Structure 1
Amino acid sequence: MKKLTLSIKEVEKMPIRDVTVTIDLQRPAGLIGFGKPLILGQKAGGAPYKEYSDLESLSADFGPSTEVYKLAAALKGQGQNSPAVFAVVAYDTNGGDPVSSLQSVWEKDWYFLLSTESDVTVIKSLADFVEGKGFKLFATRVGDEADLAVLKAQDYDRTFIIYHSDPAELAKYPDAAWVGARGSQPVGSVTWKFAQLIGITADDIGLSTVQSVNSAGGNVYVMRGGQPRTGEGIVVSGEFIDVIMAKDWVQVNIENAIQTLLNNSPKVPYTNSGIAQLEAATINVLRAGFNQGIIAEDGDGLPLYSTDFPTREETNPADRAARKYTGATFTFELAGAIHEARIHGTITV
């Protein structure tokens, strides 16, 4: 089982955010919504960031013949799992820069990046930017294993790719369909494998190609047990998408919980009782993570997490004088998901 070890520290010179959560993913030997996608597209003259709830409202700015509309149609066409709201920003078709456009809206409230771009050079530049930020996820699509190799060389943790050998199916934006099918569901409640993509036809490729794509950090959409389903649900580095999302969910929600405590309290004293308030806020998020399926349980059904918040006496006097509390940690085990099963049976006669 995977274990996440995390630390909390209050940092100086950060007037907007006073709480930082750092997460390191450790492998054993041998309430923030994450569902809103951002569509990055092109338009003559560009288009500012705007949020939409349906295709009808989008059509006033991007008609049905545009790539932005087609991508949004795949996103919104996934039935009850489709996101309630999505955002769009477009850069100028005449010399606009997709990365600059993305940078200008990075702080907006969205989590999944989707792009109408198919050129691997542009895809790589967007993936580089997202990776450098260390937050949010970029979903994209390729139809050439050589393009997969270009991206695999970077070993991205925050980019996931769906491969399809049919250009006509790629033009239907299977990456957007995948985000529409899985991205808006509560973090921890679903795995990204086994998703059915409405409007996308399964790829007709052999096992050797499936294995090659998986080895290159890509995902396929093929028939599994007679039904079309997505592949492993991994980012380019090979980590599972839901693991990256779990890490982000815990980090952001604990930061917000403690920031809310600091904002709404006349004072959180630098005493053991004040420290206990910080720990309680952290535990509340971990409990919520357990209830959502992020955190595993032991044999008695109890959540597998722990916290360690140093007492006032255990803190550095210099930190106390500077009103900084450091050294707090918490650990939890990921619930994960079953992607394969091997069952042995015996017949007696």
Structure 2
Amino acid sequence: MANIDRIVNVQISLNTNNVSSEGFNTILVVGAHTNGIERVKTYTNITDLTTDGFSTTDAIYKAVSVAFSQIPRPSKVKVGQIKESEEIADAMNAIVAADNDFYGIVLASRETDDILAMAAWAETQTKLFGTSTAEETAKSAGQQTDLISTLKAKNYYRTFVFYHELANDEYIEAGVMAKCFDSEPGGETWANKILTGLTADNLTESEYSAISSKNGNTFEAFKNNNITQNGKVVGGEWIDVIRFRDWLQEDITVNVFNLLINNNKIPYTDAGIALVENQINKSLLAGQRMGGIAPTEYDENDAENPGYIITVPLASSISANIKATRILEGITFTARLAGAIHAVEIEGSFTYENLTA
């Protein structure tokens, strides 16, 4: 029988190759343990940890338990293993080599040297590290040798710290990560979060002010609710801004990369530059939808205040030498952060006089 391809030859190309985006809602609890040989293991419930040999008194178990206790609960938590006598940086490099699909890091150890080593490592990665301290000196504005002050002095933007009296037994950072990671990047704030299964601290206003001045965070009782306060990394930026920035950078990278690999060629012309611009615009629009970038708004004179602006060069303005390198330069964007309201100040008055609009 003759081959039908002689008459009709159909070739279907799949332009669907994708780069995996990092898990910006996944927590890794890391610590020393001997329960298995896997560098990283994913858990979907707390019972499986006891099945694997973890005791309910183990620090790793406590941290994972706090994460799974939040409402809504995460679908999974990963556990990373630090081997005996292994340095933090070496262990984390081995962990990301085995499984890099996580964003939040909770360290089981409360040793200062371990925390400082993890913070230093996290600063070189697209990760977010959270920890807690029970140091009394953290509550004093005049003390600058406590853990929070030490980390603040290093100006780290990928580490946040809670003061917590029961830090050696409770892992507030795991709880707040689980709570906030339920929201898309840009759609959350890390202040005013109600956490489950954790003990609120009874702080004076001066103690809170001292912790806050060091860019530390607290978990306190207000009326009938126990909630987080502040929501900053030790470098002074809001935690949600760091997470959103990381997501946006990754999303733009993935979108532009997929454009380049799923087309035979992107020409170095105005049309080709527009294709790149469209991918950036796609990410920024998603950032608006998620709540990280402000929408287009208008002032009192009806003048438009856009949420973002993208600037791209004309092909004719790019030199032949630059075009010969096949590297597109000169694309910039500016986006307005949506921000968040953490507190409200209201002034009112009473009068017996008639009121007019």
Which interval holds the TM-score relative to the shorter structure? 0.7 to 0.9
Distance in 1 (CA, whole Å) between partners of 2:278 and 2:223 is 46
- 2:340 aligned with 1:342: no
- 2:105 aligned with 1:113: yes
Distance in 1 (CA, whole Å) between partners of 2:333 and 2:161 is 32
What is the letter of the counterpart of residue 323 of structure 1?
R
Give the counterpart of 1:242 among 240, 243, 247: 240
Residue pair 1:192, 1:242 contacting (<8 A) in 2 also: yes
Give the counterpart of 1:304 among 293, 301, 307: 307
Distance in 2 (CA, whole Å) between partners of 1:141 and 1:46 is 28
How far is the alpha carbon of 1:340 from its aligned partner? 1.6
How far is the alpha carbon of 1:184 from its aligned partner? 2.9
SS at match of 2:174: helix
Residues 274-313 of structure 1: pairs in structure 2 closer than 5 A = 274-300=272-298, 303-313=306-316
How far is the alpha carbon of 1:115 from its aligned partner? 0.7
Residue pair 1:40, 1:89 contacting (<8 A) in 2 also: yes
What is the letter of the counterpart of residue 288 of structure 2?
F
The corresponding residue for 2:65 is: 73
The corresponding residue for 1:157 is: 157
Distance in 2 (CA, whole Å) between partners of 1:188 and 1:221 is 22
1:106-151 alpha-carbon deviations (Å, 9 max, x no partner): 3611101111010111101110111133x21101111112222222
Residue pair 1:306, 1:331 contacting (<8 A) in 2 also: yes
SS at match of 1:218: coil
The corresponding residue for 1:123 is: 115
How far is the alpha carbon of 1:280 from its aligned partner? 0.4
- 2:40 aligned with 1:61: no
Distance in 2 (CA, whole Å) between partners of 1:48 and 1:204 is 39
TM-score, normalised to structure 1, is 0.85
How far is the alpha carbon of 1:58 from its aligned partner? 3.1
Distance in 2 (CA, whole Å) between partners of 1:67 and 1:334 is 37
- 2:93 aligned with 1:103: yes
SS at match of 2:39: strand
Give the counterpart of 1:39 among 29, 37, 40: 29
How far is the alpha carbon of 1:32 from its aligned partner? 5.8
How far is the alpha carbon of 1:162 from its aligned partner? 1.1
Residue pair 1:46, 1:91 contacting (<8 A) in 2 also: no
1:57-103 alpha-carbon deviations (Å, 9 max, x no partner): 333334233221111010111021x32122211112x3122221112
Higher CA-based Rg = 2
How far is the alpha carbon of 1:259 from its aligned partner? 0.5
Given the superposition, is the C-alpha separation of residues 151 and 46 from structure 1 closer, same or farther in structure 2, using an over 3 Å criterion?
farther
- The aligned length equals 315
SS at match of 1:337: coil
Distance in 1 (CA, whole Å) between partners of 2:24 and 2:336 is 21
Residue pair 1:36, 1:184 contacting (<8 A) in 2 also: no
Residue pair 1:250, 1:289 contacting (<8 A) in 2 also: yes
Distance in 1 (CA, whole Å) between partners of 2:306 and 2:52 is 48
Higher relative contact order (CA 8 A, sep 6+): 1
| Structure 1, gaps ≥5 residues long | 1-18, 20-30
The corresponding residue for 1:7 is: none
| Structure 2, gaps ≥5 residues long | 1-18, 139-145, 299-303, 353-357
Distance in 1 (CA, whole Å) between partners of 2:281 and 2:305 is 13
Residues 1-349 of structure 1: pairs in structure 2 closer than 5 A = 33-44=23-34, 47-65=38-56, 66-80=58-72, 82-92=73-83, 94-106=84-96, 108-133=100-125, 135-144=126-135, 145=138, 146-165=146-165, 167=166, 170-300=168-298, 303-349=306-352
Distance in 2 (CA, whole Å) between partners of 1:317 and 1:86 is 51
Greater mean deviation of Cα atoms: 45-54 or 178-187: 45-54
Report the structure, 1 or 2, having the larger strand content.
1
Residue pair 1:62, 1:68 contacting (<8 A) in 2 also: no
Residue pair 1:164, 1:220 contacting (<8 A) in 2 also: yes
CA-based RMSD of the aligned residues comes to 1.9
TM-score, normalised to structure 2, is 0.83
SS at match of 1:126: helix
Residue pair 1:34, 1:184 contacting (<8 A) in 2 also: no
Show structure 1 runs of 4+ deviating over 6 A: none
Distance in 2 (CA, whole Å) between partners of 1:296 and 1:149 is 33
Residue pair 1:64, 1:70 contacting (<8 A) in 2 also: no
Percentage identity across paired residues of the two chains:
30
How far is the alpha carbon of 1:249 from its aligned partner? 1.3
